[in-house]
Amino acid sequence: MIPFSPPRMDQHIVDEVSKVLLSGWITTGPKTKLFEQKLADYVGCRKVICLNSATAGMELVLRWFGVGPGDEVIIPAYTYCSTANVVMHCGAKPIMVDIDQKDFNISLANIRNVVTNKTKAIIPVDISGFPCDYDEINALVREDEIKRLFSANTEDQQRLGRILVMADAAHSIGAVYKGKMNGSVTDAAVFSFHAVKNLTTSEGGAVCLNLPEEFDVDEIYRRLNMKSLHGQSKDALAKVKAGGGNWRYDVLEPGYKCNMMDIQAAIGLVELERYDSNLNRRKEIFSFYDNAFANEDLIICPTYKTDIKETSYHLYMIRVAGATEAQRDEIINHIFEKQVSVNVHFQPLPLLTAYKSQGYDIRDYPESFGKYQNEITLPVYFNLSDDDLAQVTKAVKEAVKEVMT
Ligand SMILES: *Cc1c(COP(=O)(O)O)cnc(C)c1O
């Protein structure tokens, strides 16, 4: 069976993790700080904080910005549940909008339609690793009329004076937007290092801070760090470093517990070092799929590179032209019977109970449903061989023919 997305775990990782395990320091410490620095260098953003997930990172940023009850946050309907959940955890309302016709990402026109005086943030999602239209989104939140609508409730909101743009970049570390690394083009961007993502720490995430100059990102880092550790005024490392007698700390607010451990950072450091060479194999796989399906009328290949954008090569999302949801599911069953694992990204949120029960209706998101119903994601990972790829493409082509003709 060809798996969908096995993690790349090898002796190098085992060695690095072992060193940390035996070092006397296993929680947040020097490895995490080093990983944060290397990520900031890689992305070219002002500051990075690592946490135990992207979800935690997105929620902490929203909470830092003061998003709460009565506020609205604009998100795409076509995303993973995490994007909506963090907004709901804060007590705010996710305003879901449909995606664009040209790709799987949030539509600029739809964002414009739903901005109100309650809008505090927009969370564009780089589905599959393909960057959203960031120049346009950044320009929109800076338009005079849109800024006039913005009503600031906190000092930080006042300082920004406009809607915050925080990218859900869970898929898109390594993607490029107009010559810049993704993660450096919005106020904040949050990567996921979950086991199935391009770069993994088993579980983990990172917040890239790129707020305008007038923000002290070191200070924001300290506040996010504090929130990630129960609201304690000092983290464990600071207490130890300061020497004896420095055991006393305060709890400034009832915080959360979502710090990254050095055990995780040790994996991340190895992953980051070989990330670009992993990307090269992923690129080859994308080309292989493009070529294999070039003459298949029923198979629509994804857009992942344009003049100004290049994906992180995270997900290869094909669509079967004209397939209904039931036919797509049937095709997937046939593909699995041929010993190939595939997946579906994503069920639009209004299809899921937690959101449907809040009144979100899939009929309001025709583009999202239309794309979802015939979408299939193919395996992409570093050691998928050309023989494996031949098996995948043969299975997909046959399954599509079996069901659609
Ligand atoms: C994986 C994923 C997340 C959540 O990442 P975690 O690190 O598991 O919290 C958020 N958004 C999208 C689009 C994802 O695919």
What percent of the chain stands above pLDDT 70? 99
* Residue 90 domain flag: yes
The predicted pLDDT at position 242 comes to 67
Q: What is the pLDDT of residues 343-391, one digit of tens each?
A: 999 999 999 999 999 999 999 999 999 999 999 999 999 999 999 999 9
> How many angstroms separate the CA atoms of 74 and 54, rounded?
18
The predicted pLDDT at position 237 comes to 76
Do residue 252 and residue 317 come from a single domain? no
Which residue from 82, 86, 182, 345 has its CB within 8 A of the most atoms of ligand 1, so it is best to mutate? 82
Structure tokens at 327: 């036919």
Do residue 255 and residue 300 come from a single domain? no
Of 31, 40, 28, nearest to 217 by C-alpha is 40
Do residue 342 and residue 388 come from a single domain? yes
The predicted pLDDT at position 245 comes to 73
Mean pLDDT of 34-42: 98
Do residue 107 and residue 182 come from a single domain? yes
The predicted pLDDT at position 145 comes to 97
The predicted pLDDT at position 244 comes to 65
For ligand 1, the distance from its centroid to the CA atom of residue 240, given in whole angstroms, is: 33
Do residue 59 and residue 80 come from a single domain? yes
Mean pLDDT of 209-232: 97
Do residue 393 and residue 281 come from a single domain? yes
Domain that holds residue 178: 11-273
Given a cut of 90, whether residue 172 has pLDDT beyond it is yes
Do residue 101 and residue 180 come from a single domain? yes
Which of helix, strand or coil describes residue 161?
coil
In degrees to the nearest 10, what's the CA dihedral of 257, 216, 59, 149? 160
Of 65, 177, 86, 75, nearest to 125 by C-alpha is 75
Residue 246 — pLDDT band, cuts 50, 70, 90?
Answer: confident
The predicted pLDDT at position 238 comes to 78
Do residue 122 and residue 238 come from a single domain? yes
Do residue 332 and residue 264 come from a single domain? no
What percent of the chain stands above pLDDT 90? 96
In degrees to the nearest 10, what's the CA dihedral of 392, 395, 399, 401? 100
* Residue 219 domain flag: yes
Residue 76's alpha-carbon distances to 344, 358, 362, in angstroms, are 17, 16, 12
The predicted pLDDT at position 155 comes to 97
* Residue 149 domain flag: yes
pTM: 0.97
Residue 308 — pLDDT band, cuts 50, 70, 90?
Answer: very high
The predicted pLDDT at position 241 comes to 73
Do residue 114 and residue 189 come from a single domain? yes
Do residue 268 and residue 291 come from a single domain? no
- Cβ–ligand 1 contact at 61 (below 6 Å): no
- Cβ–ligand 1 contact at 264 (below 6 Å): no
Q: What is the pLDDT of residues 131-153, one digit of tens each?
A: 999 999 999 999 999 999 999 99
Do residue 75 and residue 215 come from a single domain? yes
Which residue from 53, 78, 80, 346 has its CB within 8 A of the most atoms of ligand 1, so it is best to mutate? 80
> How many angstroms separate the CA atoms of 91 and 110, rounded?
23
Higher pLDDT, 215 or 248: 215
Residue 169 — pLDDT band, cuts 50, 70, 90?
Answer: very high
For ligand 1, the distance from its centroid to the CA atom of residue 149, given in whole angstroms, is: 31
**Spatial strand order in the sheet of 176-177:** 180-181, 176-177, 309-310
Q: Which atom of ligand 1 is nearest to the CA of 193?
A: 7
The predicted pLDDT at position 362 comes to 98
CATH number at residue 293: 3.90.1150.10
What is the residue-averaged pLDDT of the chain? 97
For ligand 1, the distance from its centroid to the CA atom of residue 57, given in whole angstroms, is: 10
- Cβ–ligand 1 contact at 345 (below 6 Å): no
Number of domains in the chain: 2
For ligand 1, the distance from its centroid to the CA atom of residue 55, given in whole angstroms, is: 6
Q: What is the pLDDT of residues 72-119, one digit of tens each?
A: 999 999 999 999 999 999 999 999 999 999 999 999 999 999 999 999
Q: Which atom of ligand 1 is nearest to the CA of 192?
A: 7
Of 27, 72, 75, 43, nearest to 175 by C-alpha is 43
